[in-house]
Amino acid sequence: MQTPSIVLALLLCLALGLSSVLSAKVNKHKPWIETSYRGLITENTDEVLLDPPLVALDKDAPVPYAGEICAFRVYGLDAPFEAVVLNRTSGEGQLRAHRPIDCEHQREYTFIIQAHDCGGGPGGTGGKRSHKAVVHVQVGDVNEFSPVFSSLEYSGSVLEGRVYDSILQVQATDEDCSPQYSQICNYQITTEDTPFAIDRNGNIRNTESLSFDTQPHYEISVTAFDCGQKKAKHSATVHIHVKPICKPGWRGWTKRVDYEPGIGSKQLFPKMHLETCEGAVSSVQTTVELQTRHIGKGCDRETYSEKSLQKLCGASSGSTDLLPAPSAAFNWTASLMTDGGRDSDLIYRFDGRQAANIPDWITPQNLTDQFTIATWMKHGPSPGLRGEKETLLCNSDKTEMNRHHYSLYVHNCRLVFLLRRDFTQGDSFRPAEFHWKLEQICDKEWHYYVINVEFPVVALYVDGVTYDPYLVTDDWPIHSSQIDVQLTVGACWQGQGVVMGWVNDSTWCEVSKARFTQHFRGSLSGLTLRPGKIESQKVISCLQACKEGLDITSLESMDKGIKFHFNPAQSVLVMEGEDLEQVNTALRKVSYINSRQFPTPGTRRIHISTTVQCFGEDVCISIPDIEAIVMVMQPSEPRITITGAEQLNMPASDLALGLLLFRDLHIFSTVTKSDGIVPNTDHRSGVLDEMVHNLDYCDILVLGEELKKGLESLHLPRSALLGKHLDYTNSTTGMSIYGVDSMSHYAQVIRQVRFQSLRTGMSARSFRVSCSELNGRYTSNQFTLQVREITDCSPSVSLMLYYPLLPCSSVVTTPMDPHRAGAIWVVDHSQHCSNTDIVVVVCYSAAGVFRHCVRSLSTLLDSPIFLGHLIDVKSEIIAHLLLYSLYWSSSSPSSVVTGHCPQDTAGWMFSWNPFPNGNL
């Protein structure tokens, strides 16, 4: 049954085999193509122009299929081309790209191409392939890129009076791939009317000689063209600097250097170098001088008060400030003129007419054989007054006589100290006058003078340097007397004077009149007198130290061939070296530094002088001096704020024991931070950041009438000052705490100030606290505290007005004790309280004890809070009222309930029955 199907299969196989044989007989030949082709394709197109054209021939033509070309095949790694048959009969083909071609990516391609005929029939069975031909395709460039300069800024220089073949060369490139479009064929100066030309290679030259005085700088624009005449999109800017004919001097320095407070050391001339005009030098010596005579007292120093500064420097205590800031207590300087003081640097000017008598209660009465006089002085010669004495400080007879016991004066630009002993201290011929002749006394500059007396030795320090007197004269002691003495600043007090004149045109009279004489002409600041002790060299150096000066950055990297020397104040630096480049490097390291947190703003002058020596000659090149300024910028101003409780209500009993006034006082400082430095910026326009700095005094002032001696007083334990650079003075007008120390230390000390009052019936006392930094340059808000005396109210008496007290209603009062956790209260059932008794516990602090006293209990009983809530009174008052309700059960006859009040409070406890009939 399977025979027909088998036969059919055999017939089919026979037919196929016969067909293959027939097609093989028909397709006898392979297609033919050229052995190689060369092609060109323009980038960004797809058609390739081949030479010769792509044509495949087959000798089997015109036999269908066998003589026809069905396909071209391209062989090559990543060759982006394909070949298509345009005419099967003629064999024409077309080579084209199947993706965009970029000349800048690849300029040529090489691959293989092969032709295929159509075989013996429609299916292409038995098709033949041609030999493989090599195809080379070059990519044609399109001028798509513009020239681009290697730099958009060029700089060159010319010497005035010379014409150069080439000053500098600009250079542009083009990213096109072909020489025609990638090469730069032309450069052109687009700026009109310039004395410069440019060639096709980019070389710029001047067409005429140039003058530095006429125009020291030229700015020109240059463009470029490629060989396809495509212009650069962006021109290059060329700066031509005209250099004057070489003159030796310093180059690369700026006239002004800005200094921001707090940055430490800043280089003054980081690009500075010395131009010697090719002259060979053997050595260079340079002197850099920082001139600060116009700043404060000769330079930027700490402007704290004398007492605070002495405390900071570790000076001996007990000094007397003879020229303090005028105030109600220190009023003798109120009539003196102040001059030249900036940023609270208090300076007094004397013009030959001003003087001040020091009150007797200020004047040290016994100087002993050891004492110190210190002052800042600025003095110059007085034309026409060469023979007169100018007295800084004088202690003389107040009346009857004109004896000078000790004085410090200037005479003919010499400083003289007079010290006369009386016969009670010896009857021998002893040293009495000490003379110093120094340039500083009349140079019209600020200097710090300290006279240390260890009789009979007297030493003078000027700006920390000691000087011996060139002349010492002896004298006999003066006779002791009962005449009072007068200490005077700026002149000497003459207790007996003579004024002559006619009376009634007939009688000649001589009238005694006390007056000032030997007036001082100059400026003084910080005049102090310390009896019993002398100052050390270390303290003297600290008191007069400048906080600004010259510095050397990276001193360890200084070349060993450079010698340098600073003066003691670091305001003058001398450098010397033999190698010019080493000198240049060393001078670039010179810096300005100001260590003050709040420096004095303004200009500081810099003067540089240079001496150059050549081989075999003393001086060969003259280097002009240069002048520059350092501009110290305005520091950020701090805002000092004092906060705390502003009212205390206290019973008289607590005031009698002594009340801590400022237990919760805090001091902090903020500064406004903004995006830029804008003068006079409103604090509200920036962000307030907290900052840390020192204070130099805080005053606690009694407002209203002064404290009653013997009844009222302020107290501060000395233990509060341990470990701190602080001291204080106390009087009936208030307390002043002074010394340079942190805000936290000041707050700790002020919190320990106690106010004690034994007065009865005092209604209120007010105190004002204010603090300062830099002797009043920055001051805090004026924080005011009011203390009110409240009359005690007894809970038991008040309650009896409303309800009868019960057997368990005895009042328990616990005195306030700041070291305890709080008053402890106990309710004991053994006292036979009723089951309807209500126990009330009042916990109170010093600020709020009577504000919520029992007198307001009737109102509380009617309010919802009676059910046992904790009442928090106003935020500035630490007072809590706890109402506690107990209902006793007969099943627990011995119940005891205990509790305690909050920390730092006292308490009352009492009970009563508001329901006498037993009905709830």
Give the residue extent of every domain in the chain.
26-140, 148-243, 249-295+547-632, 322-524+538-544, 639-790, 795-912
Q: How would residue 676 be classed by pLDDT, with cut points 50, 70 and 90?
A: very low
Is a pLDDT exceeding 50 seen at residue 553? yes
Report pLDDT digits (tens) over 331-360. 899 889 987 555 556 889 999 988 999 998
Report pLDDT digits (tens) over 3-53. 555 545 554 444 444 444 444 567 888 999 999 999 998 888 888 998 999
Lowest mean pLDDT among 283-292, 377-386, 664-673: 377-386
How far is 760 from 739, CA to CA, in rounded Å?
36
Report pLDDT digits (tens) over 902-913. 444 444 444 444
Is a pLDDT exceeding 70 seen at residue 589? yes
Average pLDDT over residues 544-568: 89
How far is 920 from 918, CA to CA, in rounded Å?
6
| Helix, strand, coil percent values for the chain (each to nearest 5) | 10, 40, 45
Tell me what pLDDT residue 532 has: 85
Give the start-end residues of each E strand in 578-704.
590-594, 602-614, 626-632, 639-643, 647-651, 659-660, 666-673, 687-690, 694-703
Spatial CB neighbours of 853, under 8 Å, sequence gap ≥ 6: 793, 795, 798
For 59, 75, 794, 885, the CA distances from 454, given in Å and listed in that order, are: 137, 113, 67, 79
Asked whether 808 and 911 are in contact (CB, 8 A), the reply is yes
- Specify the fold of 26-140: Immunoglobulin-like (2.60.40)
Please state at what angle helix 306-313 crosses helix 537-544, rounded to 10 degrees: 130
Is a pLDDT exceeding 50 seen at residue 84? yes
How far is 712 from 702, CA to CA, in rounded Å?
11
Tell me what pLDDT residue 379 has: 93
Spatial CB neighbours of 28, under 8 Å, sequence gap ≥ 6: 59, 60, 66
Q: How would residue 894 be classed by pLDDT, with cut points 50, 70 and 90?
A: very low
Spatial CB neighbours of 807, under 8 Å, sequence gap ≥ 6: 831, 832, 833
Q: How would residue 101 be classed by pLDDT, with cut points 50, 70 and 90?
A: confident
For 153, 182, 192, 222, 785, the CA distances from 169, given in Å and listed in that order, are: 12, 19, 19, 11, 79
- Which carries the bigger pLDDT value, residue 404 or residue 830? 404
**Domain 148-243 architecture:** Sandwich (2.60)
Asked whether 514 and 505 are in contact (CB, 8 A), the reply is no
Please tell me if the domain spanning 26-140 has the same topology as the one spanning 322-524+538-544: no
Tell me what pLDDT residue 265 has: 93
Say yes or no: domain 249-295+547-632 is CATH 2.60.40.1260.
no
Q: How would residue 165 be classed by pLDDT, with cut points 50, 70 and 90?
A: very high
Is a pLDDT exceeding 50 seen at residue 309? yes
The amino acid that residue 730 corresponds to is N
- CA nearest neighbour of 780 among 685, 638, 662, 646: 638
The pTM of the full predicted model, rounded to 2 decimals, is 0.56
Report pLDDT digits (tens) over 765-819. 999 999 998 888 889 999 999 999 876 443 332 222 223 333 433 333 334 333 3
Asked whether 164 and 196 are in contact (CB, 8 A), the reply is no
**In the chain, what percentage of residues exceed pLDDT 70?**
77
Is a pLDDT exceeding 90 seen at residue 374? yes
Report pLDDT digits (tens) over 197-246. 999 999 999 999 999 889 999 999 999 999 888 899 999 999 999 988 88
- Mean pLDDT for the chain overall: 79
Tell me what pLDDT residue 426 has: 59
For 672, 676, 690, the CA distances from 681, given in Å and listed in that order, are: 9, 10, 17
Q: How would residue 141 be classed by pLDDT, with cut points 50, 70 and 90?
A: confident
Q: What is the enclosing helix (H) or strand (E) of 490?
A: none
How far is 744 from 738, CA to CA, in rounded Å?
14
Tell which CATH classification among 1.20.1420, 3.40.1010, 2.60.40, 3.40.630 matches the domain 639-790: 2.60.40
How far is 84 from 95, CA to CA, in rounded Å?
7
Report pLDDT digits (tens) over 513-525. 788 999 999 999 9
- Which carries the bigger pLDDT value, residue 677 or residue 96? 96
Q: How would residue 497 be classed by pLDDT, with cut points 50, 70 and 90?
A: low
How far is 308 from 697, CA to CA, in rounded Å?
8
Report pLDDT digits (tens) over 860-885. 333 333 333 333 332 222 233 333 33
Tell me what pLDDT residue 368 has: 72
How many degrees, rounded to 5, is the angle at CA 243 between CA 240 and CA 245? 150
Report pLDDT digits (tens) over 434-474. 999 999 999 999 999 999 998 888 999 999 899 999 998 88
Asked whether 292 and 666 are in contact (CB, 8 A), the reply is no
Tell me what pLDDT residue 880 has: 33
Tell me what pLDDT residue 44 has: 83
Report pLDDT digits (tens) over 11-25. 444 444 444 444 456
Lowest mean pLDDT among 122-136, 830-844, 875-889: 875-889
Q: How would residue 142 be classed by pLDDT, with cut points 50, 70 and 90?
A: confident
Tell me what pLDDT residue 804 has: 35
Asked whether 222 and 205 are in contact (CB, 8 A), the reply is no
Is a pLDDT exceeding 70 seen at residue 761? yes
Look at the block and give the residue holding tokens 């110059």. 380
For 6, 272, 714, 880, the CA distances from 873, given in Å and listed in that order, are: 117, 70, 29, 7
How far is 290 from 427, CA to CA, in rounded Å?
52
Tell me what pLDDT residue 687 has: 57
Tell me what pLDDT residue 890 has: 31
Q: What is the enclosing helix (H) or strand (E) of 657?
A: helix 652-657
Q: How would residue 304 be classed by pLDDT, with cut points 50, 70 and 90?
A: confident
DSSP state of 44: T
Asked whether 846 and 816 are in contact (CB, 8 A), the reply is yes
Average pLDDT over residues 186-196: 93
- Specify the fold of 322-524+538-544: Jelly Rolls (2.60.120)
How far is 361 from 324, CA to CA, in rounded Å?
15
Tell me what pLDDT residue 455 has: 85
Q: What is the enclosing helix (H) or strand (E) of 563?
A: strand 563-566
Average pLDDT over residues 288-314: 84
Strand-pairing partners, residue 113, are 74, 133
- Residue ranges of alpha helices (H) inside 413-522 are none
Tell me what pLDDT residue 548 has: 93
